[in-house]
Amino acid sequence: MTSSETIRWYNEHAQQVAAAYESLSFQEVHAGFLDLLPTAAVCVLDIGAGSGRDAVWFADKGYEVVAVEPSAAMRALASQRHAHSNISWIDDRLPGLEKTLKLGVTFDIVLLSAVWMHVPPAERQRAFRKLISLLAPAGYLIITLRQGPIEEGRVAYPVSIDEVQRLAWQYGIAIKRITEAPDRLNRENITWQAVCLQLPDDGTEAL
C-alpha cells in the first residue's frame, strides 16, 4: 500500500482486482467480527478501501465512512460503482496518513482489509501509532492478515499475529478477538487471519 510499485500494480490490475473483491460479500469476508460492530451509526475509516465493497456496506448501515485508497484506478472504479452520500474518498496511504490526520476526526472503527501485508516491516510501528491516534475511545481497529504466496509482481511482506500482539501491547490496545478463515476466492495455499482490537476508554484494559 505504501510503495509506488504496489500502487502501480493495483492501477494496472484494477479491473481484475475489483471484480474479485466484488464477487464476495462483506458478511462472507468479515464474518468473524460482525457481532462486535456497533449498532448505532458511527464513523468508519476504511484504509485501502479497494473496490469500495466494505465502505458501501458500512454506508448502507448509516455509518459515515472515510475511504482511503492510494490507487487512482481503484478509487475511480469504487467511487463510480458505489456512489454514496455517506462515503468520502481520499487519496492517502500508510504509514503517514497525512491527509486523513488533517481531517481532525477520530473513528469508531478503523478497518485494514488485506492491507497490512503491503506495509514494509520497518514502517509498521509508525503506521500502527498513526492508526491508534485515529481511534475514538473504545474504538475498534480491525486488521486482516493474508498468509501464503503472493502474485508475481505484487509487492507484499510477511505478516503475523505475534507482530500485531507486540504492537498492541506497546500501544495499550486490547486484542478482543483473533479469527482464522480459508481464502474465500479458493486460491491455493492462502488463508486469512483477522485481529480485532479495541482501544480502552481509560487506557488500562490492555495492561
The domain ranges of the chain are: 4-198
* pLDDT given for residue 151 in this prediction: 80
* pLDDT given for residue 138 in this prediction: 94
CATH class of residue range 4-198: alpha beta
* pLDDT given for residue 188 in this prediction: 87
pLDDT in tens, 60-105: 999 999 999 999 999 999 999 999 999 999 999 999 999 999 999 9
For residue 157, what are the contacts with CB-CB under 8 A and spacing of at least 6? 117, 118, 119, 120, 121
CB atoms within 10 A of CB 117: 19
pLDDT in tens, 150-159: 887 788 999 9
Choose between 204 and 55: higher pLDDT. Answer: 55
Identify residue 14 by its one-letter amino acid code.
A
* pLDDT given for residue 204 in this prediction: 47
Mean pLDDT over residues 199-203, rounded?
Answer: 74
Distance between CA atoms of residues 80 and 84, nearest Å: 9
* pLDDT given for residue 203 in this prediction: 47
* pLDDT given for residue 206 in this prediction: 46
In the chain, DSSP finds a helix count (H) and a strand count (E) of 8, 7
pLDDT in tens, 7-45: 999 999 999 999 999 999 999 999 999 999 988 889 999
pLDDT in tens, 160-181: 999 999 999 999 999 999 999 9
Query: For residue 1, is pLDDT > 70?
Result: no
Query: For residue 139, is pLDDT > 90?
Result: yes
Helix axes 14-22, 72-81, angle to 10 degrees: 40
DSSP helix/strand/coil, 169: helix
- From the number of C-beta atoms within 10 Å of its C-beta (0-12, 13-18, 19+), residue 83 rates as exposed
pTM over 0.95: no
* pLDDT given for residue 88 in this prediction: 97
